Amino acid sequence: MAQDHNLAIFRGKLKFKSNVSKIWGVFILLSIITIVEVFLGITKPAFLTEHHLFALKYLNWIFIGLTIVKAYYITWDFMHMRDEKMGLRRSVVWTAGFLIIYLLFILLVEGDYVFEVYKNGYVKFDF
């Protein structure tokens, strides 16, 4: 188990010499992403908050994207998903991924609908 770590990240573009240096490399990457997130969260650039895509500001899409990138590196390198068999990887990631996306889709669309009824509905509380 000790010697068979996959040491390449960024689809093989960045290859580390040892597992320990890979861990520090991933830590630096996660730190940079967090700093970018906090910077954007504090400054809130106007051109990213003015426009919406699917009822969500561009800025929030960026936050979600960066979060998923962070989640990927935590799972793949800290939880050693990169070294597991494809079957295990897919059973975990595809199952959770599908169910979570489905759940969020249902809940958020319904929440938006409830808001619309409260705000614009002629008959309140009639859903």
Partner 1 sequence: MDDTVAKPSTDNKTWDGNNKPLNASYGKMMMWFFIVSDALTFSGFLGAYGFSRYKFIDSWPIADEVFTHIPFIHGNFPMYYVAFMTFVLIFSSVTMVLAVDAGHHMKKNKVIVYLFLTIIGGAIFVGSQAWEWGTFIKGNYGAVETKGGKILQFVKADGSRVALGDFAVPIHSERIQQESNNGIWYQSEGAGTSVSLAEVTKGFLADESILIRTQYLDENGHRTVLSRAESVAKLKTDGTGIVEGANLKHNEYGTPLFADFFFFITGFHGFHVFSGIIFNIIVFFNVIIGTYERRGSYEMVEKVGLYWHFVDLVWVFVFTVFYLI
- In sequence order, which ranges of 44-85 are alpha helices (DSSP H)? 46-49, 58-73
Please identify which residue in 15, 67, 121, 127 interacts with partner 1, judged by CB under 8 A: 67
Question: What's the CA gap between 5 and 126, in Å, rounded?
Answer: 57
Please identify which residue in 7, 48, 58, 60 interacts with partner 1, judged by CB under 8 A: 60
The reply to whether 7 sits near partner 1 by the rule CB under 8 A is: no
The residue length of the chain stands at: 127
Question: What's the CA gap between 75 and 77, in Å, rounded?
Answer: 6
Tell me which residues in 22-51 interact with partner 1 (CB under 8 A): 23-24, 27, 30-31, 34, 37-38, 40-42, 49
Burial class (CB in 10 A: 0-12, 13-18, 19+), 82: middle
Q: What is the contact surface with partner 1 in residues (CB under 8 A)? A: 1-2, 19-20, 23-24, 27, 30-31, 34, 37-38, 40-42, 49, 55, 60, 63-64, 66-67, 70-71, 74-75, 77-80, 84-85, 87-88, 91-92, 95-96, 99-100, 103-104, 107-108, 110-112, 114-115, 118-119
